[in-house]
Chain A
């Protein structure tokens, strides 16, 4: 450093970004490990009561047993399938309802307040009714997940409909288009980013619906397992349920993110 003022320092923009990315990623992983290690250490030295808080190693051991000897695997499949079925049907029919508002201004305006009112109802409170109506089997869970997602999607699609450029419709009509052309070529693609933006919320909502359905009454599923474990005060098993659900939720979230990319192909999701 003989001539410090003559030294040129040029930072490479791309390298800087890459370094930042690396540090962020490392930090994210590190933080996760830190939390798990702290949890383990604190419960082992009984700073946190391991009876209530369990511990990562106990959870792991309990999960292993539950997977290998218990019915955890079947429960997981059951809950996943119910969630996915509710999510897919709720999103699909919600989109259809939302898109249908494009066909008639009267129909759209008359039904809008009811849509909003229905959205305000805490759907989970309907759980007992749903179980009585559809039984304690698989279908009642799907129905709850469906109810959780359908209105959210319909409202999202409805916002998309409102954002359609009138001139675009005019252009299509000037090209001799019928209403169905306008619907397929303008309305659906314009609304897609709105529908897609509701996907991430929907997957979490559908899962919550399924779990509550299982809480109320069920023979299978992670929700039933948690409820059962709670009743026999097997708190380790409750934690297993919570951890497995979290992992499932993250996996499904990752799934919706790739689904978004597929559906949008370059467009941005809209709120």
Chain B
């Protein structure tokens, strides 16, 4: 039984009579508790895929199944986090984190009580009552991720969450994310441009090709967990990286029209 299944999902936009294929029929089967990365060049339909899974846009064809139930066009079934932290500047960090619960109808007081230990545990202790502009980029991303986490869905989509961070902070955040993933046993789908990041974090990596977006390869990452910095230097890691680089380099040969 797979947690999340994407079955022949495609997305075609039409503009001025011309059809533009954002994503060709794609099928993915993701078991519960996996950490799955999706890499590919810009414009390969990664974000389109996420928007479909999140129920924000409807696929042109195909189905999205969560626990066997079709969730096409239904939002609120998976957690979703974007590259921008999108914290509301007029709310404190604590009140930002409980946003999802509030929408679900949980009372503010109860939601805060639930969020407080989470903030303390995952590096935001002492910042509960600060406003987002007072925090660093990494801290804000933490808050944004905790907001997604507190929303408490089994599947979490992360669209380049660390894309805007500097290398040092990014490394820290990756470790932090792995810790959270191990603690909460969520199924994570992770979009990134960064091959190292994809290998370091994932169980499986899906490679998408350039326009029209198409699933090109699925690679299983055979690296022991827990992974540390030494993982980044292991032979296994290097050979995987080579493989992915080759896959991505083939790109220009692909013809992008249908």
Q: Which residues of A are interface residues toward B (Cβ below 8 A)?
A: 165, 167-168, 170-177, 181, 185-186, 189, 192, 265-267
Contact = CB atoms under 8 A, between A and B. Distances in A.
Given A170-B56, A177-B76, 18 more contacts: A165-B86, A167-B86, A168-B88, A170-B82, A172-B99, A174-B55, A174-B56, A174-B76, A175-B75, A176-B75, A176-B100, A176-B103, A177-B103, A185-B88, A185-B103, A189-B88, A265-B90, A267-B90
Contacts of A175: 75-76, 80, 99-100, 103, 151
Interface of B: 54-56, 75-80, 82, 84, 86, 88-90, 99-100, 102-104, 131, 151
Contacts of B82: 167, 170-171
A168 B103 contact: no
A175 to B, nearest CB: 4
A156 B104 CA distance: 32
A135 to B, nearest CB: 43
Nearest to B101: A175
6 contacts: A167-B84, A171-B80, A174-B75, A174-B76, A175-B76, A176-B100
A176 B76 contact: yes
Most chain B CB neighbours (cut-off 10 Å) among A170, A171, A186, A265:
A171
Q: Interface residues of B: mostly helix, strand, loop or mixed?
A: loop
Contacts of B56: 170, 173-174
A267 B99 contact: no
A217 to B, nearest CB: 45
A174 B79 CA distance: 7
A185 B102 CA distance: 10
Contacts of A172: 99, 103
A267 B54 CA distance: 31
Given A167-B86, A176-B75, A266 B99 contact: no
A193 B100 CA distance: 24
A181 B86 contact: no
A2 B103 CA distance: 74
Contacts of A171: 80, 82, 86
B88 A173 contact: no
Contacts of B88: 168, 185-186, 189
